[in-house]
Structure 1
Amino acid sequence: MMAGSPLRLCAVWWVFWPSVICPLTAGGGVRAATTPQVTDVLPSGVPLPPPTPVEVTPFDDPNTELLGQAWGARSWLARHGIRINMQDVEELWGLASGGLRPGPTYDGMTAVTLMFDTERGVGWHGGLLNISALQIRGRSLTGERLGALNSVSGYDAGRSTRLFELWYGQGFFANRLDVRVGSIDLDTEFLVSQNASFFLNASFGWPLSTSSNLYSGGPSWPFSALGARVKWTPVDSLVLMGAVTDDNPTRGPFYSDIVPTERDPTGTVFSTSGGTLFVGEAQVSGDVARWIAGKDARSLPGTWKVGGLYDTGRFPDQRYDNHGGLLASADSTGQPLYHHADWMMYVVADQMIWRAAKGSNKTINIFVRATVNDGSRNRFASEIQGGVTFDGLVHGRGDDTIGIAWGTGFYGSRAIGNAHDAMRLGTSLAGDLKPEQHIEATYQAAVTPYLIIQPDFQYFWHVGGTSSDPETGRTIGNGTVLGVNMTTTF
């Protein structure tokens, strides 16, 4: 989350056609389908403006990007309805203590996005074609050194060079109705907390409740899935969204020793196997201060969301095998009993709670996100996260943000029962399941309009969610992680 100053917005938002991205505040007439922010190709640690009752159009200024007008190429492409953007992320992480094996790692990513406005390009009103690709590199500190359930970074993913999204969007009724069809990533629009997205830990983007309970983590970064999304804005303060996609973006089994990026290393599987995932969300935005004290009060905007998902696929029981026996038993088949369908409900709240003066960019904002789902076929039955961000409070650094956040996920009843079975039967050294908790403190510095530096500190309790290392039986120490993220917009 970021303050809404022009410099800040231009540093992290890419908006090519202002009248496209903000049809609700623009004049009448049909607009192209909603232009996504350039940060939609990033998983988390994404600086976003604070929630506002009405979407604000950032300045369209290519000079805030490293390559500027790119020797006139951007202007020429713009006349033909084409916009190309590139972002590069470099991260260094180090496990200072605890976990499995202290030491450093590196990860990085380069994302390229191409958009084609059909009205400017071929005269077709309201259309937008979006194509994006990712090059992910480096090693996993979470998997190789820490052993945590919650990845320290959204970029802590399997190495690959891959297609990310490929969809066509069409706007109707001055873009109050927006439809996308193609290969879609859901976590850029659903389950999103604007304030939580500021943090680097991956769980503040796409939470543990979905990344662990769905096939391959569901249609979330760096994966997309075939489907459609509909977004309707009947009034400025209300947004209704729904999506239907394939539930298994990499076409793999629920449990596999092969990481998802190896099953689909190019992002071109376009799976139609498995079940169907339905997602719905309602968003309400408003200004609490002005509701209470009138229009002359300091604006304190907020956005509140409620939503849910339903998956028609087959999901493994967390305690019983396919013959009705205990999975923890030495006599078990090792194949879990599979149930039909799965569901999850969630709430998200982003709220500004303080502002230095009317119109000031010095603000304090909070977020809360909670999920709940079935405890028989999901390893994690509920999750809660919360945090606070401070914008523009550092003297002389009006575009910088400080944040601190916490999160944890709670095991379902059958996952807990399975752990007790394993201890009683002596088939596991892991011991009791304990909810892994993590806290993150981070500082984001806008060095230039196109360069963001973000040092980061994270601390983990009950690493891996168990009492002991399941392979050795030794206690896993609490993890202390230090890192830095550098994001450049070209």
Structure 2
Amino acid sequence: MRFQNFFQQILLILALTMIQAASQAWAQEETTIEPPERIVTEDFSTDATDTRLLSPWLNKDNGFTATPVYFGEVFTNAHGGIGTKHATQYEGLLDLALSFDFQKMELPIPGRATILFQNTHGRGLNPYVGATQITSNIDSLDNITQISELWWELDLFDEAVMFRIGRQDLSTEFITMETASDFINSAFGLSPSAGLPSFPAPSSAAMAMINLNPSLKFRTGVWDAFRTDERGTFSQNGSILFISELEYRYTTSRNQLPGIISFGITYETPGEIPDGVIPRAFGYYLQIEQMLYREADSTDDNPQGLSLFAQHYPTNTNGSSSFPEIPEDGLAGIVYRGLLRGRDEDVAGAGLGWVKLTEGGTDEEFMVELFYKAKINSTLSVQPDIQYINTPSGIYPNALVVGLRVQLDL
């Protein structure tokens, strides 16, 4: 069975429904409810006081902020894939983000700067599963200790324009969906068909974000493409990636439910890497996020209820793809925040991902993920997770992956 038409139908139905709702909201000049800005890890605490363990020492309001976050997980390949023998593994990721606000620090330098240190340890499940959609978004494939991001940004024209330059992860601002941020499979963080500079190998870039109005944002950037390791400033492969994205945020006029529609385009110039030639390639993507039901006692800071998301990213649009082994993919899913009574900050999700392949076998891979993320306190979250991968990489037996992730917001 092919899943391409299935995803296209989902996106078409959602697009028609939400464009109609958005136009009604615009015509009636409703006040736009801005969902929280995307950050690396979400803090669901509604308390005014930050009670994380190290906050009194690291996050003082003096222009310097340190944000340590640790992810640890145990996963096992219970069935299928490449093999199940010794297929229970621990993997961890330490993120340490250091932010400097030069104005608050009273330094003669405009803007802000951020440094992100990352360390991964342990071993992921990919050698046992063989999936194209890698089962964990902290799997760096090979353990790393590095400065992953180092950039400087400046606001212009009363914060209408933001400019950022330095080493950056493309998925921080592009090809990302807030609603899908709690899923563990890597496909929900950045399209596997993209072949773009993201974790674990961000690259040098310059990008700008323009607030056209409170509902409409335009982002554009240029990246050093196809970076394979963290050494050096540039990859020297000759390939440059151009990307632009238009994001529209709205609320439906009838029920005041927030939604986001994003459309982006990518263009890759030719280059050369050890494995071969990088072709000239053009791609586009469409993303839709929509809250379907909102509980009566929810707030803008913690919008409890049911939300839906979908994404489609074909890269092989002109007979040439920057990532020819995976010319097309799609994502869809639902998320419910506060599903259980008295657990308003917990998140439950069900999602599916599909990739078209060109390596033989079934020439496609289909993945389903279910999770429940329990917020124990402002520091600790525990997340059981289960994934089913139909024909990993199109050639291996169907795989069943189960595990548990712990997140510490220190």
Common fold, TM-score beyond 0.5?
Answer: yes
Which residue is equivalent to 1:19? none
Of residues 324, 334, 353, the one that matches 1:388 is 334
Q: Matches of 1:397 and 1:272 in 2, distance apart?
A: 47
Of residues 158, 174, 185, the one that matches 1:190 is 174
Q: 1:315–1:341: 8 Å Cα contact kept in structure 2? A: no
- 1:271 CA displacement: 1.5
Judge which range, 102-111 or 349-358, deviates more: 349-358
Structure 1 residues not aligned, in runs of 5+: 1-23, 26-34, 41-45, 50-56, 251-263, 317-334, 420-431, 467-475
- 1:249 CA displacement: 2.1
Judge which range, 189-198 or 345-354, deviates more: 189-198
Which residue is equivalent to 1:439? 368
Pairing 1:175–2:159 present: yes
Pairing 1:310–2:267 present: yes
Q: Matches of 1:36 and 1:300 in 2, distance apart?
A: 17
Which residue is equivalent to 1:283? 247
Within 5 Å, give how 1:15-414 maps onto structure 2.
39-40=39-40, 47=42, 61-63=49-51, 65-70=52-57, 74-75=59-60, 78-79=61-62, 81-102=63-84, 103-124=87-108, 127-142=111-126, 144-157=127-140, 158-210=142-194, 214=195, 218-250=196-228, 264=229, 267-273=230-236, 274-288=238-252, 290=253, 293=254, 298-314=255-271, 338=277, 340-357=279-296, 359=298, 361-374=303-316, 375-377=319-321, 378-411=324-357
Counterpart residue type for residue 225 of structure 2: D
- 1:148 CA displacement: 1.1
Which residue is equivalent to 1:12? none
Which of structures 1 and 2 has the bigger CA Rg? 1
- 1:314 CA displacement: 3.5
Q: Matches of 2:98 and 2:47 in 1, distance apart?
A: 19
RMSD: 2.6
1:408-466 Cα deviation digits (max 9, x unpaired): 0113xxx36xx4xxxxxxxxxxxx34311010000000000111111000001011212
Residues 162, 270 of structure 1: alpha-carbon distance in 2 compared, 3 angstrom cutoff: same
Of residues 389, 394, 401, the one that matches 1:481 is 401
Residues 209, 48 of structure 1: alpha-carbon distance in 2 compared, 3 angstrom cutoff: farther
- 1:110 CA displacement: 0.7
- 1:60 CA displacement: 6.4
Q: Matches of 1:359 and 1:395 in 2, distance apart?
A: 13
Q: Matches of 2:59 and 2:297 in 1, distance apart?
A: 37
Counterpart residue type for residue 300 of structure 1: L
Q: 2:279–2:320: 8 Å Cα contact kept in structure 1? A: no
- 1:299 CA displacement: 2.3
Judge which range, 278-287 or 102-111, deviates more: 102-111
Q: Matches of 1:286 and 1:358 in 2, distance apart?
A: 21
- 1:272 CA displacement: 4.5
- 1:199 CA displacement: 0.5
Which aligned runs of 4 or more in structure 1 are off by greater than 6 angstroms?
A: 57-60
| Structure with greater helix percent | 1
Residues 307, 161 of structure 1: alpha-carbon distance in 2 compared, 3 angstrom cutoff: same
Q: Matches of 1:201 and 1:485 in 2, distance apart?
A: 12
- 1:48 CA displacement: 7.8
Pairing 1:451–2:380 present: yes
Identity of paired residues, percent? 25
Give 3-state SS (helix, strand or coil) of 2:368's partner. strand
1:151-179 Cα deviation digits (max 9, x unpaired): 11011112010111000000012211000
- 1:356 CA displacement: 2.5
Which residue is equivalent to 2:26? none
Residues 60, 167 of structure 1: alpha-carbon distance in 2 compared, 3 angstrom cutoff: farther
- 1:122 CA displacement: 2.7
Residues 204, 315 of structure 1: alpha-carbon distance in 2 compared, 3 angstrom cutoff: farther
Q: 1:98–1:477: 8 Å Cα contact kept in structure 2? A: yes
Counterpart residue type for residue 353 of structure 1: L
1:87-126 Cα deviation digits (max 9, x unpaired): 1110000111111221301100111111110101135575
Q: 1:48–1:198: 8 Å Cα contact kept in structure 2? A: no
- 1:403 CA displacement: 0.5
Q: 1:93–1:104: 8 Å Cα contact kept in structure 2? A: yes
Give 3-state SS (helix, strand or coil) of 2:148's partner. strand
Residues 140, 74 of structure 1: alpha-carbon distance in 2 compared, 3 angstrom cutoff: closer
Q: Matches of 1:310 and 1:60 in 2, distance apart?
A: 43
Aligned residues: 367
Q: Matches of 2:102 and 2:108 in 1, distance apart?
A: 5
